[in-house]
Amino acid sequence: MRVLVYLPNPVPAFQPTAPQLAALAARLPGHELVSVGSEQELLAALPGAEAAVVWRFGRAWYPLAPKLRHLFTPSAGREPFEVEPSAPVQHHFGRFHGAIMAESLLAMLSFLNRRLGDALAAQHRQSWDRSPFSGCRRLHGQVVSIIGFGAIGQRCAQLLSALGMRVYGLRRDMSQPSPFATRLFTPEQLPEALAEADHVVCVLPGDTGTSKLIDAQAIARMKASACVYNIGRGNSIDTEALGRALREGRLAGAFLDVQPDEPLPPGSPLWSVPNLYLTPHASAISVEYLDLYFDELARELEKLA
């Protein structure tokens, strides 16, 4: 199979290196891997391609690729591919992200749970203030509700349950139990899953009708001591309602890795919300990102040999 690889990206960890591409090719002697460096080169090579590994694929490109049968992307979201119903092409999305994102979530949980934001503020004031830490509790025994209990959510649950946290998972498909969840909830049971949680984690995709699922009404059901996290897609939380709750002291803290509109504009009020911490859609960024993905990709392509 002739496989085109076109993965330009402004994030260095998402841009393949020559050694990474060479290692991928060495694992796939039954395939011809062709790495291209520009969109023009990609379009010129598409007529002979049976598979392509890309960050995105435009609908107008399908007619240029009559032999194309498989499209691969490292992305977990469905956004990279514009669908062409008449094209007999299978779409393959990355499933490896949980290994990185679970550690990012643990860092966020630990940061808020151990009051490290207070420690940074005291450092800036040059104040030796130990009083905020008297309210700290171990993560062990606390309840974390993971809203969106798919592959990434379950990888997070595996790590957090190993620390002794009680994991609640919310998902539509209740047919399969999870060894890492204390309880499973349906979407209709969201109020109950929120009310009992010390930490509420959103790991929702952006295209499943869950926009602003965590709205003012949902936030009102949470404990005032609870913290909210989003490592899925930015549209699942009503950030205006979240900001109001934090300013009014109706939530203890929040950590958002994603926003409804990215990048977050400089004038956004979210930059200055108290006890709100932001990362720039970085929960899956790691130097090992493409190593993990290429290992997964190789296994998938080996099946097609």
Asked whether residue 131 falls in the same domain as residue 267, the answer is yes
Contact 107, 131 (CB under 8 A): no
Contact 80, 207 (CB under 8 A): no
* Residue 208 confidence (pLDDT) above 80: no
Task: Give dist(CA 145, CA 185) in Å, integer.
Answer: 9
Give percent above pLDDT 70 in the chain: 100
Phi-psi category of residue 212: left, alpha or beta, with phi > 0 → left and psi -120 to 50 → alpha: left
C-alpha distances in Å from residue 164, one per residue of 49, 138, 202: 49, 9, 20
Asked whether residue 175 falls in the same domain as residue 236, the answer is yes
Asked whether residue 189 falls in the same domain as residue 234, the answer is yes
Asked whether residue 109 falls in the same domain as residue 204, the answer is yes
Write the DSSP symbol of residue 264.
Answer: P
* Residue 143 confidence (pLDDT) above 90: yes
Asked whether residue 237 falls in the same domain as residue 133, the answer is yes
At 78, is the secondary structure helix, strand, or coil? Answer: coil
Whether pTM exceeds 0.85: yes
The per-residue pLDDT for 79 is 84
CATH number of the domain encompassing residue 77: 3.40.50.720
The per-residue pLDDT for 80 is 86
C-alpha distances in Å from residue 288, one per residue of 4, 93, 279: 22, 17, 19
The per-residue pLDDT for 209 is 79
Which stretches of the chain are DSSP H helices?
Answer: 18-27, 39-45, 98-113, 116-125, 151-162, 190-195, 216-220, 239-247, 289-304
Contact 71, 51 (CB under 8 A): yes
The structural domain count of the chain equals: 2
Give residue 267's pLDDT band: very low, low, confident or very high (50, 70, 90).
very high
Residue 34 β-bridge partners: 4
Task: Give dist(CA 179, CA 114) in Å, integer.
Answer: 27
Q: What is the mean pLDDT of residues 184-207?
A: 95
* Residue 51 confidence (pLDDT) above 80: yes
Pairing of β 199-202 and β 227-230: parallel
Structural domain span for residue 199: 98-278
* Residue 196 confidence (pLDDT) above 90: yes
**Nearby residues of 59 by Cβ (< 8 Å), 6 or more positions away:** 82, 83, 84
Surface-to-core class of residue 79, CB atoms within 10 Å of its CB (0-12 exposed, 13-18 middle, 19+ buried): middle
Asked whether residue 190 falls in the same domain as residue 296, the answer is no
The per-residue pLDDT for 87 is 86
* Residue 293 confidence (pLDDT) above 80: yes
Give residue 137's pLDDT band: very low, low, confident or very high (50, 70, 90).
very high
Asked whether residue 143 falls in the same domain as residue 237, the answer is yes
Asked whether residue 118 falls in the same domain as residue 184, the answer is yes
Q: What are the catalytic residues? A: 233, 262, 281
What average pLDDT does the chain have?
96
Surface-to-core class of residue 27, CB atoms within 10 Å of its CB (0-12 exposed, 13-18 middle, 19+ buried): middle
Q: Rg for the chain (alpha carbons), in Å?
A: 22
Write out pLDDT tens, residues 73-125.
999 988 888 888 888 999 999 999 999 999 999 999 999 999 999 999 999 99
Residue 251's φ and ψ, nearest 5 degrees, are -140, 155
The per-residue pLDDT for 54 is 98
